[in-house]
Structure 1
Amino acid sequence: MSDTNVEELIRTMSAQRVEALRVGVEEDLRAAWEKGKAAGKAEGISEGEFRGRKQGVISVALNLLRAGSQPAVVAKAAELPEPIIRKIAQDNGITLA
């Protein structure tokens, strides 16, 4: 085998190895991207559900306070401490007896 053929064989094998490595890295990056995207989506859904439940509890507490329910009763129904219920009332201009 001539020196030219050996050099060409080395270049070809090197190029094939570089391409194989590039494909492997690309696949790893794609898998990491998809995993991160799925984790972010799950975290976002969880956060949204939490905020939605929180807003729902506050909304019901406000409705009960506006209807004249006692803060202690609203606190028990909302499963929140009474000082929080009083703060919600204050922040929304509801006067408590």
Structure 2
Amino acid sequence: MGEPNADELIRTTLDRRTEELRATLAADLETAWKHGVEAGKAEGFAEGEFRGRKQGVIRVAMNCLRAGLDTAVVAKAAELPEPIIKKLAQDNGIEIA
């Protein structure tokens, strides 16, 4: 009669331990998911900010070129190499002297 009780105790203990492991795994997965989402948002915001700044610099450089400023002045103001400013002007049909 002692055997069925031992089997039941083992089964109950294993079931409890399995449930504890499942709960721990679920909590770990939830935490990892939240960290991943936050990291993804931070990366996305950083990328968006970088692109926005880049577009802003290009827009101002284009406006300066259209206003007739010298490419060297525009390059210095935009903190870009002069060949890039010249290429920007060329690609947008802005004639430079």
TM-score with structure 1 setting the length: 0.95
Give the aligned partner of residue 37 of structure 1.
37
Give the aligned partner of residue 90 of structure 1.
90
Give the aligned partner of residue 62 of structure 2.
62
Kindly report structure 1 stretches of 4+ aligned residues shifted beyond 2 Å: none
Identity percentage over the alignment? Answer: 65
Deviation at 1:93, TM superposition (A): 1.1
Task: Give 5+ residue unaligned stretches, structure 2.
Answer: none
Q: Over the residues paired in the alignment, what is the CA RMSD in angstroms? A: 1.0
1:78 correspondence with 2:78: yes
Task: Give 5+ residue unaligned stretches, structure 1.
Answer: none
Q: Measure the CA separation in 1 of the matches of 2:79 and 2:6.
A: 79
Q: Measure the CA separation in 2 of the matches of 1:27 and 1:91.
A: 54
Amino acid at match of 2:44: G
User: Number of residues paired by the alignment?
Assistant: 97
Give the aligned partner of residue 20 of structure 2.
20
Q: Measure the CA separation in 2 of the matches of 1:37 and 1:91.
A: 39
TM-score with structure 2 setting the length: 0.95
